Structure 1
Amino acid sequence: MKLTFVINDIMSEDETYTTIRLGRRALQMGHDVAFVSLVNFTYEPDESVSALASVPRARHETDAELLADVQGDDAELTKICISDQDVLFLRADPAPELVARPWAHVSSLLFAQLAAKRGVIVLNDPQHLTDASNKTYFQQYPKAIRPVTCITRDPAEIKRFIEDQGGKAVIKPLQGSGGQGVFVITPETMANLNVSIETTVKDGYAIVQEYLPDAADGDLRLITLNGKPLQVDGTYACFRRYNDTGDARSNFSAGGKIKLEAPDERALRLAEICGPKLVNDGMYLAGLDIVGDKMMEINVDTPGGINLVESLTEIDFAGAIIRDMERKVELRDHYRGRLRNDQIAVM
C-alpha cells in the first residue's frame, strides 16, 4: 500500500504526534510511506496531482528515529505522484495556518478532492472536511449531544448569554485548537470578562458555551474509526485528560495529563448518536471530547492520542488502523469507480 500523510510541515511534526506513530507502524508493516506539507502540491498539465514529499529512508523502531530521519539536515524532498497513491491521509491542523498561511489548508483540501476523483482513498473525506473548517461544523450534530452554544462577535450578545447561564460559560475562538485562547468565565472572574471577549473576537468569531460542572474532572477523549468507538481486544482507544495545576484546560499543550479510562454508558450513547453523521460525512478517524453527558467538540482534522493510549495499554491501535486501510484498498480495487470516496472512507 502506498500511504501519504498530509501535514502542516515536516519540521513542525513532533515524535508524540499520532501521524508519526501511524507512519512508523505502516513502514513496519511493509508499506510505502510519505509525508507531504500543505504547500507542496502541484496540479500537473496531464491533470494528475503530484507533491514534494519527505520519504523515510528506512524502517524505524521508535517514533523519534523516524522523525529524525525525515527532519535531518541531509533529508531531501522527493517528487511523488499523488494520483498513484492508495491512501491520502489528511492530518493537517487548520488553526496554525490562520495568520501566516490562511490559504494553505483550504488549498490542500482542493488538491485532495482532485486526488479522490482519480481513485485515491482520501481520509477523512476532503469534501466534508472543507465544510468542517471551523467549530460551526459541530452545530450540525444533534442538539441532544451538544452544550448550549452562542457564536458571535458581538460583546453584548456574549454578555447576555453568560448572564442567561448564571454567570458561568466558556469562551474560545471559533477557529482554534489545543486549548489556545480558552477562557472559563465564572462570577469570580467576571472582572476579566471584557479582556477575555476582546482577546477572542479580535481575530474572528467567538464560540461561547455553557459551563459543564463535570469539566472540573477533565474530559474524555474517545477515538472513533468508521463512525464507531475504536477498540482492539476489548479495550477502547479512550482516555481521560485532566489538569491538576488549577488550569481549567485539559489539553496536553496546556499541561494536561492523561489516564486510561473506559467510556461509560453516557459516552457510548453520545458516540452512538453522532455516529451516523460521522459515517455520512466520511469521517474515518475522529476524536470525541466528552464531558459528562455532553460532547464539547469533535476533532475531525487531526484527532490524536493513539500513541498515548498505546503507551497506557501496550495495544497496537496504530496497527489496527493501518490494517483497516489495507481492507479499504482491497475494497476499492474490487469496486473501482463504483463507490464514492465518502462511502469507502467509512466502510
Structure 2
Amino acid sequence: MRIGFFVNSIEAETATFTTTALAFAAVGRGHDVCYVTPGDFVFRPDDSLFVRSHAVPSKRFRKAESLHAALQSEAEAQVVDVGDIDVIFLRNDPSLDAADRPWAANVGAMFGRLAAERGVIVVNDPDGLARAQNKLYFQDFPRAVRPETLISKSIEEIRTFIDAHPTGVILKPLQGSGGKHVFKISSPEEANLNQIFEAVSGEGYLIAQSYLPAASEGDIRLFLMNGRPLEKEGAYAAMRRVPAKGEVRSNIHARGKAARVEITPEILEIAEMVRPKLIEDGMFLVGLDIVGDKILEINVFTPGGLTTMHELYKVDFAVPVIEALERKVAHRSIYNGQIANSILASL
C-alpha cells in the first residue's frame, strides 16, 4: 500500500507530529509513504492527475525521529500518477495558509475530490472537509453537545451575549486553530473588550461561547476513528490537556500539560451523539475537545496528540489507524471501485 500524507509544508513537519507517528507506523507495517504539499498537483490536458510526491526512503526506521530526519534530507521527489497512490491522508491545516497563501488553503479538498474520482481513497473525505472549512461546521451537530453560541461581527450583539452569561464568555475567530486569538471575557464592561474585539474581528466573524467553569481543569482530547473512540490494548486514545497558570487555552503548544484521563460512560455517550454526522460526512479520524458534558470543538483536519498519548499510555495508537486504512484498501478491491469515497472514508 502506498500512502500519501498531504501537509502544509514538509519543512514545518516535526518528529512529534501525529502525521509523523502515522507515517512511522505505516513504514513499520511495510507500506510505502510519501508526502504531498499544496503546490504538488498537476492536472494535465488529458484529464489525468499527477502529483509531485516526496517519497520517504524505503528502509526500516527505529524511531519516528529518524523517519522525520530522512524526510527532511533524503526524500526523493517523484512525479507519479495519482492513481498509483492507494490512500491520500489529508493532514493540512487550512487556517495556517489562509493569510499568506490563501490559494493553498482549500487545495486538499479540491484536488482530493479529483483523486477520489480516480479511485484513490481520500481521508478525511474531501467533500466533508469542504463543509468544515471553519467552526460554523460545529453548529450542525446536536445542540445537546454544544455550548450556547453566538456567531457575529457585531460588538453590540457580543456585548449583549456576554451580559447574559455571568460565568463569562470565550471569544475566538470563526476561522482558525491552535488556540490563536482565544480570549475569556468576564464582563461586557471589561476595559480591553474593544481591543480584543478589534484583534479577533480582523480575521472575520467571531464566535462567542458560554464559558464552562469545568474548563479551568482543562479539556479532554478524544480521538474518534470511523465514528467510534479509538482504542488499543484496553486504552483510549485520549488525554486531559491542563492549561498553564493564568492561561485560558489548554493547547500543548500554549504551555498546556498533558495527563492521562479516564473515559467515562458519559464521555462515550457524547461521542455517540456526534457519530452519525461524522459517518455521514466521511470523517475517518477526528479529535473531540470535551469539557464537562459539552464539546468545544471537533478537529477534522489535523487533530494532534497521538505521540503524546503513546508516551502517556505506552500504547501506539497510530498502528490501528494504519490497520484501518489497510481494510479500506481491501474493501475497495472487493467492491471494484463501486463504492463512494465518503463511505470508504468512514467504513
- TM superposition score category, shorter chain reference: over 0.9
- State the one-letter code of the partner of 2:61: H
TM-score normalised to structure 1 length: 0.97
Report the equivalent of 2:288: 288
Percent identical: 43
- State the one-letter code of the partner of 1:313: Y
* Deviation of 1:189 (Å): 8.3
Output the CA distance in 1 between the equivalents of 2:108 and 2:188. 44
Report the equivalent of 2:70: 69
Report the equivalent of 2:104: 104
Output the CA distance in 1 between the equivalents of 2:346 and 2:76. 34
Output the CA distance in 1 between the equivalents of 2:123 and 2:222. 18
Report the equivalent of 1:224: 224
Residue by residue over 1:254-273, the C-alpha shift from the partner in whole angstroms, topping out at 9 and shown as x without a partner, is 11110111222221111000
Contact 1:41/1:108, CA 8 A, preserved across alignment: no
- Gaps of at least 5 residues in structure 2 are none
> 1:59-208 maps to which residues of 2 (within 5 A)?
59-72=60-73, 75-166=75-166, 168-187=168-187, 190-208=190-208
Contact 1:21/1:318, CA 8 A, preserved across alignment: yes
Contact 2:3/2:34, CA 8 A, preserved across alignment: yes
Residue by residue over 1:125-168, the C-alpha shift from the partner in whole angstroms, topping out at 9 and shown as x without a partner, is 00110010000000000100000011111111111111111261
Output the CA distance in 2 between the equivalents of 1:243 and 1:153. 28
- Gaps of at least 5 residues in structure 1 are none
> 1:49-64 maps to which residues of 2 (within 5 A)?
49-57=49-57, 58-64=59-65
* Deviation of 1:46 (Å): 3.0
* Deviation of 1:107 (Å): 2.5
Contact 2:167/2:213, CA 8 A, preserved across alignment: no
Contact 1:82/1:115, CA 8 A, preserved across alignment: yes
SS at match of 1:67: helix
Output the CA distance in 2 between the equivalents of 1:197 and 1:211. 17
* Deviation of 1:49 (Å): 1.7
* Deviation of 1:188 (Å): 10
Report the equivalent of 2:326: 326
SS at match of 1:112: helix
Contact 2:56/2:76, CA 8 A, preserved across alignment: no
Contact 1:225/1:286, CA 8 A, preserved across alignment: yes
Output the CA distance in 2 between the equivalents of 1:37 and 1:316. 26
* Deviation of 1:310 (Å): 0.8
Deviates more, 1:44-53 or 1:98-107: 44-53
SS at match of 2:39: strand
Output the CA distance in 2 between the equivalents of 1:269 and 1:144. 11
* Deviation of 1:76 (Å): 4.3
Output the CA distance in 1 between the equivalents of 2:241 and 2:247. 12
SS at match of 1:129: helix
- State the one-letter code of the partner of 1:119: G
* Deviation of 1:245 (Å): 2.3
- State the one-letter code of the partner of 1:4: G
SS at match of 2:191: helix
2:265 corresponds to 1:248: no
Contact 1:48/1:83, CA 8 A, preserved across alignment: no
SS at match of 1:10: coil
Output the CA distance in 2 between the equivalents of 1:303 and 1:333. 29
SS at match of 2:62: coil
Contact 1:179/1:251, CA 8 A, preserved across alignment: yes
* Deviation of 1:197 (Å): 0.7
SS at match of 1:8: coil
Contact 2:239/2:260, CA 8 A, preserved across alignment: yes
- State the one-letter code of the partner of 1:223: F
CA 1:288–1:92: 2 relative to 1, 3 Å: same
Output the CA distance in 1 between the equivalents of 2:178 and 2:107. 23
Output the CA distance in 2 between the equivalents of 1:16 and 1:248. 24
